[in-house]
Amino acid sequence: MMGTKRVIRKLFGESGQSMVEMALILPVLLLLLMGVMQFGLVMGSYLLMGNAAREGARLAAVGGTDSEIRARVSAVSGALDPDDLDITISPTGTRARGTSVTITLEYPVDIFLPLPAGVIPDPLPLETFTTMRVE
C-alpha cells in the first residue's frame, strides 16, 4: 500500500510548480521594474529641464540676451540632447524693467517600455516653464 502512494506522488508531484509560478510572475515583475526605471528617467529629464529653465529665466531677468540665454540653457541642461531641446523665450529681444520674462522648454523623452501603441506616447513630450520679473 505504501509503495503505491509513493508511485502516485512521484507521478503527480509538485516538483514543477515553482517553475510554472515563476514563468507566470516573471514578466509582470520585469515590466514593473522597467516601469520604475522609465519613471526615473522621465523624472530626471523633467528635473533637468526645470533647472535649466530657471537658469535661463534668471539670466533673462538680469539682462541677458536671447543668444546668451539659449547658450546657458543648453549648457546646464546636462544629459538632455541639445538638438531635441526646444527653447522659447517670451518676450524676445530687449525686456523692460519690471516686466515678466518666461522661458519655456520642451523635450521629447524616448520610452523603452514594451507597451501597446497608444498607452504612452513615444516619445513622451515634456514641457516646463519658469517666469521671473526683469530687474
pLDDT at 12: 66
User: Cβ contacts of residue 129 below 8 Å, gap of 6+?
Assistant: 53, 102, 103, 104, 105
Q: What pLDDT does residue 9 have?
A: 65
Are 61 and 132 in contact by the 8 Å Cβ rule? The answer is yes
Instruction: List, run by run, the mean pLDDT of 10-residue segments along the chain (135 residues).
Output: 66 72 92 93 95 96 93 92 94 90 96 84 93 94
Is the full-model pTM beyond 0.75? yes
For residue 72, the model assigns a pLDDT of 96
Cα–Cα distance, 129 to 56 (Å, whole number): 10
Peptide bond preceding 123 in cis form (omega within 30 of 0): yes
Q: What is the pLDDT of residue 1?
A: 52
Q: Where are the domains of the chain?
A: 19-133
